[in-house]
Amino acid sequence: MSNRGGGDHPKIQLVRGDITKQVVDAIVNAANSSLLGGGGVDGAIHRAAGPELVQHCRLLGGCQTGQAKVTPGFRLTARWIVHTVGPVWRGGTNGEPEQLASCYRESLARADEVGATSVAFPAISTGIFGYPIRAAAHIAVATVRTAATSVGVVRFVCFDDETWDAYESELDRP
């Protein structure tokens, strides 16, 4: 694990691993607009949280791209799950950067509302939704670094080497 930053904005940590295993107040799910589960990290979170999660999500009425909604963590160690819907990559000129930045801001806003002070994020949109990892890591780091939030620690959880490398080079920049 590597720790970076400090001051008024969240301290940033970079780890490799599985987000469902993180010992933090809240983990973020890269969901789809139905909030009823799917593949990738969404599938892993639903499997780990248990069937109570989808039952609860049925009551939420979905979620729009760039927005976020919070649920309990059920069987996870994390007390909360913040579900956000990243943009599908369609070339980058259809509002994708703004929508992705909004996912990070809105997720931190939901975390603030429930009093979560440590939050783990996956690399939203960079799997099934096709967002290029380097561009996505730039937005993730820049948005979290400048976020107005009471969250003290943000952990970026990297599932593969390419994701780790992208965050590592982004965090090395001033």
Chain residues binding ligand AR6 by CB under 6 A are 18-20, 30-32, 38-42, 44, 86, 122-129, 157, 159-160, 163
Q: Is 25 known to be catalytic? A: no
Phi, psi dihedrals of residue 80, rounded to the nearest 5° = -130, 155
The secondary structure of residue 129, as a DSSP letter, is T
User: From residue 88, how far is each of 27, 47, 149 by CA, in Å?
Assistant: 21, 23, 26
Complex with ligand AR6: residue 42 or 96, whichever CB lies closer: 42
Q: How many residues does the chain have?
A: 174
Least distance from ligand AR6 to the Cβ atom of residue 102, Å: 14
Complex with ligand AR6: residue 64 or 150, whichever CB lies closer: 64
Least distance from ligand AR6 to the Cβ atom of residue 117, Å: 21
Least distance from ligand AR6 to the Cβ atom of residue 158, Å: 7
Choose, from 8, 42, 161, 172, the residue flagged as catalytic. Answer: 42
What does the longest C-alpha to C-alpha distance in the chain come to?
44
CB 140 within 8 A of CB 154: no
Residues 6+ apart with CB under 8 A from 84: 28, 29, 30, 31, 63, 66, 67, 68, 103, 106, 107, 124
Complex with ligand AR6: residue 34 or 117, whichever CB lies closer: 34
Complex with ligand AR6: residue 2 or 150, whichever CB lies closer: 2
Least distance from ligand AR6 to the Cβ atom of residue 90, Å: 13
**Catalytic residue list:** 42
